[in-house]
Amino acid sequence: MNFKRAKAKVKRIRQERTLLGVYAVAVTTALLVYVYNNNSVRASLPDDEELVEIIPEDTAYEDAFSLEDDLRLAEDEAKAPQTVEIEDLPKEAEVAEDMLTLKALGVNEEDVKVEKGDSFIGILTKMGLEYAEATNIYTAYKKVYDARKVKVGQVLHISSLTDSKYNDAISITKIMTEPVSGTRYIVEKNADGKYEARTEQDDLTEEIKVVSGTINGTVGGSMKVAGVPNNIVGNFINIFSYSVDLRRDVRAGDKFEVKYEQNLAPNGNVVKTGDIIYAELTLGKVKTALYRFKDSSGTVDYYDEKGQALKKSLDRKPLEYKKARVSSKFGTRFHPILKQYRMHSGVDYAAPQGTKVYASGDGTVTKAKWVNGYGNYVTIRHNSEYSTGYGHLKAYAKGIRPGVRVKQGQVIAYVGSTGRSTGPHLHFEVIRNGKKVDPLKIKAATGESLSGEKLKAFKKVVAQINNAGATETKVASKKDDAVANTGNIASNTGDTIAN
């Protein structure tokens, strides 16, 4: 369709120009419009080389011409003898033509919403622009913005000179789009008729966003209903995942509050979100409030108001294979190999060879070596009270050796059947104050406290974070209204803002 249309248009314009030439000499005021020269009709087609260069390889412009069409059109035009080439027109004729053409031109501004199946070049050619010109604009624009990225629903603000007779845009003067609020990408025709692109960036303001609410269903679901962005919800859940069983410990009516950084454009639109600086969960009557703190060495962690690191329970089943069943409990048992009653100092989890073994909690590796009976054996010291041990391992994870710090959930080894073992399983031990205890009965907590200079710096941060919340009550209230409107949270009271 476009191919035929454009071809007809080229012919039409040329015919008009030939006629115009006849009247040209009589016009004397023509110089007045010279300045508009670069907005006049360009019916010429680009040469092959230019086209090859500017068409992105991996893109199919559904609405645009194929390269073949263009080449064929260019060939046809070259063969056509009957029309006078623009270049052959006398200078005066060109001027007169421009003036007459301008009479039919109107400046047009429109907002074009990208629809399914649209391409940037397709949109421009649909408006009546020559394909070559559209690709020129695309190429110029690409210096700041790849217009292939336009998404359905995105708006292009397009200024054009339009031939009112045919309602075709014959020259685009400016295109602006703002895919992310506060950042505008502009391509504009300069005085020489060339397209130039630039970016306009609004100054972003940083603020602390506070959202609180009542849990109804899952923590994540309730936070999303309250308007918390997905990435913040995910981080919030991570912060609490080792200290709270978010599936079993949370009840309807429990409360959450989160404070996080976000950047705003001058119009108030959120451009991006940053870190969670405060995370609070109130389960029943127990409130856990955690503050983000980056110490002088750059380590980031979350601490309670007193500077105590988030209490992380030891993972009682530190295996990738969560279905692993207990094949032998802690306590006295008849030993299958030694054929006598012996104390079993840990718990055995039957799991396939090579299953990943995790660190049960944060800590430092104290042993990673062969120990008689245990085979390949790892121990980790978590704090002054607790250590854990892992036996019958097939192999250690890369880098696991004494002195290395590990995080809870980090892979430390792989399940095997080394040492005194009848089949692949993990022998897991918890050592409390030097004594082996039943791993299934512990309620251990790990985590370091801040002290000295770090604690001082932390206290300042706590004060700042508490203040940040107080100034944002308004924003949060607004959000609460919005939540109330959705009707998904039954009792989202106005007093959910702490401080």
For Zn ion, the closer of residues 291 and 377 by Cβ is 377
For Zn ion, the closer of residues 118 and 348 by Cβ is 348
Query: CB under 5 A: which stretch of 86-94, 186-194, 341-349, 408-416 binds Zn ion?
Result: 341-349
Smallest distance, Å, CB 428 to Zn ion? 8
For Zn ion, the closer of residues 252 and 343 by Cβ is 343
Which amino acid is residue 196, in one-letter code?
Answer: E
The 377-416 site mask, x for binding Zn ion (CB under 5 A), equals ----------------------------------------
**Size of the residue set binding Zn ion (CB under 5 A):** 2
Q: Among all chains, which residue has been given the structure tokens 């629903």? A: 153
Smallest distance, Å, CB 344 to Zn ion? 6
For Zn ion, the closer of residues 70 and 348 by Cβ is 348
Tokens of 496: 């959910």
3-class state of residue 292 by DSSP: strand
For Zn ion, the closer of residues 427 and 479 by Cβ is 427
Tokens of 179: 């895919």
Where in 165-204 is the site for Zn ion (CB under 5 A)? none
First to last CA, the chain: 65
For 22, 30, 431, the CA distances from 36, given in Å and listed in that order, are 21, 11, 86
For Zn ion, the closer of residues 128 and 375 by Cβ is 375
Distance in angstroms (rounded) separating the CA atoms of residues 41 and 31? 17
Extended beta strands in 121-243, E state = 155-163, 168-180, 183-189, 195-201, 205-214
Smallest distance, Å, CB 315 to Zn ion? 17
Q: Secondary structure of 82-131 in the HEC alphabet? A: CCCCHHHCCHHHHHHHHHHHHHCEEEEEEEEECCCCCCHHHHHHHCCCCH
Cβ atoms within 10 Å, residue 384: 7
Strands 405-406 and 347-350, how do they pair? Answer: unpaired
Query: CB under 5 A: which stretch of 211-219, 245-253, 351-359, 426-434 binds Zn ion?
Result: 426-434
Smallest distance, Å, CB 251 to Zn ion? 37
Contact, 400 vs 368, CB < 8 A?
Answer: yes
Burial of residue 376 (number of CB atoms within 10 Å: 0-12, 13-18, 19+): buried
Distance in angstroms (rounded) separating the CA atoms of residues 151 and 293? 38
Query: CB under 5 A: which stretch of 344-352, 396-404, 446-454, 468-476 binds Zn ion?
Result: 344-352
Query: CB under 5 A: which stretch of 34-42, 183-191, 340-348, 408-416 binds Zn ion?
Result: 340-348
User: Does the footprint of Zn ion cover residue 317 (CB under 5 A)?
Assistant: no
Q: 291: closest CA among 128, 51, 131, 457?
A: 457
User: Does the footprint of Zn ion cover residue 348 (CB under 5 A)?
Assistant: yes
| DSSP symbol at 248 | T
Which amino acid is residue 286, in one-letter code?
Answer: V
For Zn ion, the closer of residues 155 and 326 by Cβ is 326
Residue nearest to Zn ion (CB): 427
Smallest distance, Å, CB 347 to Zn ion? 7
Smallest distance, Å, CB 331 to Zn ion? 11
Query: CB under 5 A: which stretch of 21-29, 60-68, 90-98, 424-432 binds Zn ion?
Result: 424-432
For Zn ion, the closer of residues 348 and 472 by Cβ is 348
Residue from 17, 292, 317, 427 that binds Zn ion (CB under 5 A)? 427
Distance in angstroms (rounded) separating the CA atoms of residues 392 and 370? 9
The number of CA neighbours under 13 Å toward the Cβ of 485 is 7
What is the total residue count of the chain? 499
Tokens of 406: 């590990």
For Zn ion, the closer of residues 278 and 349 by Cβ is 349
Contact, 231 vs 266, CB < 8 A?
Answer: no
For Zn ion, the closer of residues 256 and 390 by Cβ is 390
For Zn ion, the closer of residues 72 and 436 by Cβ is 436
For Zn ion, the closer of residues 259 and 427 by Cβ is 427
Extended beta strands in 248-352, E state = 255-264, 270-283, 286-294, 300-303, 325-328, 331-334, 341-344, 347-350
Query: CB under 5 A: which stretch of 118-126, 186-194, 420-428, 484-492 binds Zn ion?
Result: 420-428
Q: What are phi and psi of 415, to 5 degrees?
A: -60, 140
Smallest distance, Å, CB 253 to Zn ion? 42
Distance in angstroms (rounded) separating the CA atoms of residues 266 and 190? 28
Smallest distance, Å, CB 397 to Zn ion? 20
Smallest distance, Å, CB 346 to Zn ion? 5
Query: CB under 5 A: which stretch of 18-26, 181-189, 342-350, 489-497 binds Zn ion?
Result: 342-350
Query: CB under 5 A: which stretch of 237-245, 258-266, 394-402, 421-429 binds Zn ion?
Result: 421-429
Smallest distance, Å, CB 376 to Zn ion? 14
The β-bridge partners of 156 are 112, 177
What is the Cα gyration radius of the chain?
Answer: 36
User: Does the footprint of Zn ion cover residue 292 (CB under 5 A)?
Assistant: no
Smallest distance, Å, CB 322 to Zn ion? 19
Distance in angstroms (rounded) separating the CA atoms of residues 223 and 211? 8
Smallest distance, Å, CB 390 to Zn ion? 10
For Zn ion, the closer of residues 378 and 498 by Cβ is 378
Q: Among all chains, which residue has been given the structure tokens 């054996």? A: 377
Smallest distance, Å, CB 303 to Zn ion? 36
Name the site residues for Zn ion (rule: CB under 5 A).
Answer: 348, 427
